[in-house]
Structure 1
Amino acid sequence: MNNRINKYFKENNFPVTYEQWQILSRLYERDGLTQNQIAELNEKDQPSVSRLIVNMVNRGLVTRSPHPSDARINIIKLTEQAKESEQELKILANQTIQDATKGINPEDVEKCLRMLDQIRANLQ
């Protein structure tokens, strides 16, 4: 799935990778998260998230600014460019899901996702 979504983003001239999409999707849900919050939500380690955010800042997708009361904490916000791309990126992400689940009963997909959520919860 990672390869497919990367392919769709590239074919449609979006400077986004699957891992960056994970961060963007969290920011689309709630803009202005800290790097720590993003790392927790995406179940990634802090150095990986930091590296991804540096690349996203360089690509004009997010901004990084110090927290008003604690300069050690960075607040990550979407740029206008990222906000304008939201709907098109979501369409491509949904297309990837449709490709992956083609021919599978929707109830089976839901059951599989519930099981994966339980597995993830068990390991936390």
Structure 2
Amino acid sequence: MTSPAPCPTCGAAATGRFCSSCGTALAGASCASCAAPLTPGARFCHRCGTPSGTASPTRAPGLGNAMPWAVAAIALVALIALVVGQRFGGRPSGTTDVLDGANAQGPTAIAAPDAATGAVP
């Protein structure tokens, strides 16, 4: 059994071909894809570029994935509100607007008072 050696990347005590803490290749490791020998501390194969046992960075779920869906949901709600407002938002049949009722009696004129008498004609 080999004695633990410090990992060249994270400094943790490591035995075997890869560090158990960070996954960096230790002495004697070889590439899983092309079988080329890996130098101690290598994170990628020098020949083919395959990661050498390190956990590949993955995109954490978060707002970056949810933002397009949130914008689409808001747009959909706005569209539904517009359609419902156009369909059911009109005034009920048989009702008139305030200005429509005023014009139904004909034009109205305001006469100025007579300058001599002050009487309104």
TM-score of the aligned structures, taking structure 2 as reference length: 0.18
Give the greater-gyration-radius structure (CA). Answer: 2
Q: Which has the higher strand share?
A: 1
Higher relative contact order (CA 8 A, sep 6+): 1
TM-score of the aligned structures, taking structure 1 as reference length: 0.18
